[in-house]
Structure 1
């Protein structure tokens, strides 16, 4: 089992990259379709709710210091039921890796290389992520540090270029949404990307200190950045165009023209997205492998890493097209993720409190 440690900064970068990486590209269009000019408000309440839920995860981790969610399940409710809950979490981590892999494949096939088979993209990325997982969490954290800086600087540069197409008139009709209806129809954003960060319950034991501050701060920054990304998309493309594009930020980059020098910037955006997907996929993949190793007491990650490449790649072909993937996420992702992010952690925390209270009463 790995005994590595990562710094607070590395953990912050991993958390922030995981939450904003792909959501920057996939989330704004769907939000704008539902909430129109008010879509930028949706991430603010979703992020606030995510911070409240994360307090449950942090409290559970604090009650069982040094243990991952897999180990906590077994410790709290015993091997039979705890092993079943652990298997459920492992299956969720694998499913998350499948979603990320398929999103990457759909983007590459639709926007960059339409004649290439999806499996080629899947195997290429999974092989790189599998190698990173085999080398350990330190390698993933250090790679993320470097890639995050490159990704952030490049994205800020592109945002400034995009302001040449900004129009405040595209916000006419703001603050007219039906709040309850909008929350119901955009509930998927609670699952993706915010509640997905529950998998960091696997990584809390690797952080040296200040895990609570770093984690909550990363969620707050991700909330603000996702809100800004949606606001920016509305201002540059407008509601009508943004709501009809699967990757609105990619469209913005395609239309950046400043003289004859700055044009066709979509390849740069594609590079940013691929970097973000690598970071997110590596984290989900690592949690899947680590969970299997902890549950079945396997010392080496090598063969598990290799085997999951084929499993994740095969499962990622389960959707017919990107529309089916989006529809599944919109209709079921929130309810599905809520089981793992709220229901089970809350149950484990309540059982922990009851046991400790009963032990205290017995001792007295």
Structure 2
């Protein structure tokens, strides 16, 4: 394993950036289409479920200190079966990287550069993220610290100016949702972004102290920020407009006009999305490469990283358009992610407990 360590602040920034990076852009519109004026409540219970799931991951990591999820699988289930489960996790990390990459391509092609082939966007962001992966997790963390502050300051600037369009009347009819129906129709938010943060089981060994508190705090802050963003979107655009736009935040920025000085700021929000995707993609990409190196005992990351550029960019072309991506996420993302984020970790934790109790009983009978 790479001999690196992350500070508490760096780990917090990485976790928070991963959770909110692309969520700001892609989640509010879908939530508002289903839950209307009450859409801002949905992230709150989804974040609560994410914290409960994280407790399982943290407990599993505590039972196997210094090991990633790939190494835990081979240790608990043995090399044949455990290796297969570890390979499934690596495949899952690659799939997350694929979705992040395609999200960037769809956004850029739909909003700014409609004539540019998707592959151009994919290869460009993958090469940049790949370079960061080759340099290591500390490089990703340090760059994320700076980019996170820039991204946060720019978002605050945009939100302050967009408040000129705020209207409380757009919340009329609130608190009328059917809770069970809303949970069922918005269940994809449990998978993206909260259960996806399972990837940090690959990064826990790099955090030497306050890992549990920092990770839970990152999920809690991301939950509140996502809820506030959805609330803000409703207040500025209204339910009808927000629910019919794929990227409502981009529409808000497009309509900011302050005199003849501040206008056409959509390029700014595009840069913010590039920054957010770079951080999130670098984390998922790094976990994919690290998992392959650990499973197959590869000492150099360069060729693994380079080969994954071709694989991820190719797989990112696997569906036709952004609508198909959204429909897949709505129907299958939660159930698919649940297997990796809850079912398998619980089984691994249960097997660990059984083995520990068996060793304890053997030790007591021997004495």
TM-score by length of 1: 1.00
Aligned to 1:352: 352
Tell me, yes or no, if structure 1 residue 192 matches structure 2 residue 192: yes
Question: 1:9-51: per-residue Cα shift (whole Å, max 9, x none)?
Answer: 0000000000001000000000000000000000000000110
Counting only pairs closer than 5 Å after superposition, residues 1-364 of structure 1 correspond to structure 2 as 1-364=1-364
Separation (CA, whole Å) in 2 of partners of 1:241 and 1:331: 23
SS in 1 for 2:2: coil
Separation (CA, whole Å) in 2 of partners of 1:18 and 1:49: 17
Separation (CA, whole Å) in 2 of partners of 1:97 and 1:329: 15
Separation (CA, whole Å) in 2 of partners of 1:190 and 1:292: 27
SS in 1 for 2:66: coil
Separation (CA, whole Å) in 2 of partners of 1:170 and 1:262: 25
Please state how far the C-alpha of 1:163 moved relative to its aligned partner: 0.1
Please state how far the C-alpha of 1:265 moved relative to its aligned partner: 1.2
SS in 1 for 2:317: helix
Structure 1 moving runs of 4+ over 6 Å: none
Please state how far the C-alpha of 1:173 moved relative to its aligned partner: 0.2
Deviates more, 1:69-78 or 1:261-270: 261-270
Separation (CA, whole Å) in 2 of partners of 1:6 and 1:33: 39
Please state how far the C-alpha of 1:96 moved relative to its aligned partner: 0.3
Cα RMSD (Å) of the superposition?
0.4
Separation (CA, whole Å) in 2 of partners of 1:53 and 1:34: 25
Please state how far the C-alpha of 1:208 moved relative to its aligned partner: 1.9
Separation (CA, whole Å) in 1 of partners of 2:333 and 2:274: 23
SS in 2 for 1:262: coil
Question: 1:284-321: per-residue Cα shift (whole Å, max 9, x none)?
Answer: 00000000000000000000000000000000000100
Please state how far the C-alpha of 1:262 moved relative to its aligned partner: 1.1
Separation (CA, whole Å) in 1 of partners of 2:270 and 2:20: 15
Separation (CA, whole Å) in 2 of partners of 1:100 and 1:141: 19
5+ residue gaps in structure 2?
none
Question: 1:229-288: per-residue Cα shift (whole Å, max 9, x none)?
Answer: 000000000000000000000000000011111111111111111100000000000000
Separation (CA, whole Å) in 2 of partners of 1:159 and 1:108: 22
Separation (CA, whole Å) in 2 of partners of 1:313 and 1:51: 32
Separation (CA, whole Å) in 2 of partners of 1:209 and 1:280: 23
Separation (CA, whole Å) in 2 of partners of 1:23 and 1:333: 14
Please state how far the C-alpha of 1:123 moved relative to its aligned partner: 0.3
Question: 1:200-245: per-residue Cα shift (whole Å, max 9, x none)?
Answer: 0000000121000100000000000000000000000000000000
Separation (CA, whole Å) in 2 of partners of 1:8 and 1:287: 19
5+ residue gaps in structure 1?
none
Separation (CA, whole Å) in 1 of partners of 2:84 and 2:208: 30
Separation (CA, whole Å) in 2 of partners of 1:335 and 1:8: 32
Please state how far the C-alpha of 1:116 moved relative to its aligned partner: 0.3
Please state how far the C-alpha of 1:112 moved relative to its aligned partner: 0.9
